[in-house]
Structure 1
Amino acid sequence: MAPALAKGTGSEVIAYDRSGEGRSDDVPGPWKAPYAADDLAAGLTQLGITKDVLLVSHSLAGEIATAFVQQHPQATAGAVLVDANLPPFFTDSETARLVAANAPQIASLKKAPQTRATRQILAEAEDYGPVHRAYHALSWPQNIPATAIVSAQTPFPTPADAQLWRQAQQDFVAAAPNCRLVTAERSSHNVPVDRPDVVVSAVQDMVNQVR
């Protein structure tokens, strides 16, 4: 997708592996979005990129985008949030339900031999409840445009969770005048694979908006 985005927008496109993922080093301790946003900011600074950043963030990376825009509003031109974890979703009741639903898997992983993948899952699960209750209180800056792309299927098989996910995306865009919602029809949560055309189109529109 990066080559298509670069060609379609005439912009420099940077993709990277988050800590603990791909070829990046592991970082001990809990995973928290502000730490990941610090990593992203440091990498961009090393590349000499300190302004006009357009974030394209999928799923969990929505939390990184939200942390980044809170910490570096002057560097951020806009964002395309692809079926992303957004603050309105993580109500107290939903966060408690997610913690309870994932508890058996987390307990099993703690007992099993550790791999890089399981270490990352455990890092993301640590303090999940308090972290996401705090995340729920955050809001997107009013002056930074964002497009939220929601998948047709959502990440959840249960109707109640899926509806809350859709509603959270709607609430997110309704809270700021510079935000809009796009639905990726015929798509699972993996929108970049199922509907790359929707992502490319949203990014092109955002580039044109912020230029």
Structure 2
Amino acid sequence: MSRTPRTPRPPRTSDTPGRRRSTHRVLPALALLTLTVGTLTACGDNDSAPEHAASAAAPAPAPASATASPSSGAGPAGVSKLRMITNDGHRLAFHVTPGTGDDRTIVLDSGGGEDSSQWKDLVPKLHAATGATVITYDRAGLGKSDVVPGPWKVESAVDDLKAGLDELGVTENVTLVSHSQAGEIANYFAKDYPRMLSGAVLVDANLPPFFTDEQIPRLVAVSKPQVDAAMKDPDKPANRQLISTAEGFAPAHQEFHKVTWPDSVPATVIVSEKTPLDGSPEDAQHWRDAAAAFTEAGPDRTLVTAEGSSHDVPKDRPDLVLKEIESMSATEH
């Protein structure tokens, strides 16, 4: 697959901050395991907490129309269709809005504890603006996808995404959009399958430079009270997700720190002004520095600051996210 290189752009700052929301919630620890309890907050509606996103029980069997073969298509253009896909013994929910003729595909991967509904307001705008096929999906244990017991493993998450795209017949020209914890999936996916990707937009995403030997113990320590509290009610969906993320966190992120993004895949890095560590200036600066280091480490990477935004950039600055996805998707290949 060939592409016309994008002209590298200097770091920039967004110029039209979105409306600040008056309702606040504590950022779930499972998003990053990077919060100081009671001091780090994110803007968002109460109903966006992970309790509504995670599913405690396995979904009911999908109707025949939702399990059709890839050759049957995904429904009329502009209309999202549910496809239940089985991988390694569990089912995953993929939501496909077919494009208007070209072969571009935009895949939206949600942050920690969020299911595909995180993107519900953006999908129709993105589809209308680009004409590309737009795919969202629920990672295991979230939304309509089956629960997979045990620790959360990024390798399994990558395998689930790849299996879903394969089943849908998507093999190239993918723009991958990843928020928060999904940044880990994006980094491994880009490393393993660079030819599938035409580009990526990493939205306040977990990036390898952040997870240093000094930072990892801090993240584990500050999240421990919430993890301990979650273990008292492990069947609660949000608690289950937090516990699974916390298991093996240190060794997993020591390995993540070593992952290298391929030079062949252009990337736009959006970093929130407040960062997910707004209550700790030292950690917040480390978050910003990691985004800058990632951007500077290879060609064809751009750093954008989302002014006025909390970590929840898709809700606080959907205009900016839409703009950057449009720009990346429009790159010639």
Q: Report the TM-score when normalising by structure 1.
A: 0.97
Matches within 5 A, 1:2-81: 2-81=123-202
Match of 1:93 in 2: 214
The superposition leaves residues 172-200 of structure 1 with CA deviations (integer Å, 9 ceiling, x where unpaired) of 00001111101111111111111111111
Contact conserved, 1:58 with 1:81, CA < 8 A, in 2? Answer: yes
Match of 1:188 in 2: 310
Deviation at 1:164, TM superposition (A): 0.4
| Among candidates 134, 147, 158, match of residue 255 of structure 2 | 134
Contact conserved, 1:89 with 1:168, CA < 8 A, in 2? Answer: yes
Unaligned runs of 5+ in 1: none
Deviation at 1:114, TM superposition (A): 2.1
SS at match of 1:155: coil
User: Which one-letter code corresponds to 1:48 in the other structure?
Assistant: G
Deviation at 1:140, TM superposition (A): 0.6
The superposition leaves residues 15-40 of structure 1 with CA deviations (integer Å, 9 ceiling, x where unpaired) of 11111111111011111111101100
Match of 2:41 in 1: none
Tell me how many residue pairs correspond in the alignment: 211
Match of 1:167 in 2: 289
Larger strand proportion of the pair: 2
SS at match of 2:231: helix
SS at match of 1:188: coil
Deviation at 1:210, TM superposition (A): 4.1
Contact conserved, 1:78 with 1:210, CA < 8 A, in 2? Answer: no
Mapped partners of 1:20, 1:113: distance in 2: 13
CA RMSD of aligned residues (A): 1.0
The superposition leaves residues 111-161 of structure 1 with CA deviations (integer Å, 9 ceiling, x where unpaired) of 335212211111111000111111011111011100000011100121001
SS at match of 1:14: strand
Unaligned runs of 5+ in 2: 1-121
Match of 2:276 in 1: 155
SS at match of 1:198: helix
User: Which one-letter code corresponds to 1:197 in the other structure?
Assistant: D
The superposition leaves residues 85-105 of structure 1 with CA deviations (integer Å, 9 ceiling, x where unpaired) of 000000111111001111222
Distance 1:188 1:45, change over 3 A: same
Q: Runs of 4+ in structure 1 displaced over 4 angstroms?
A: none
Mapped partners of 2:126, 2:232: distance in 1: 43
Match of 2:240 in 1: 119
Q: Percent identity?
A: 52
SS at match of 2:214: helix
Match of 1:203 in 2: 325
Please say which structure displays the higher CA radius of gyration: 2
SS at match of 1:209: coil
Distance 1:194 1:76, change over 3 A: same
Q: Report the TM-score when normalising by structure 2.
A: 0.62
Mapped partners of 2:234, 2:225: distance in 1: 16
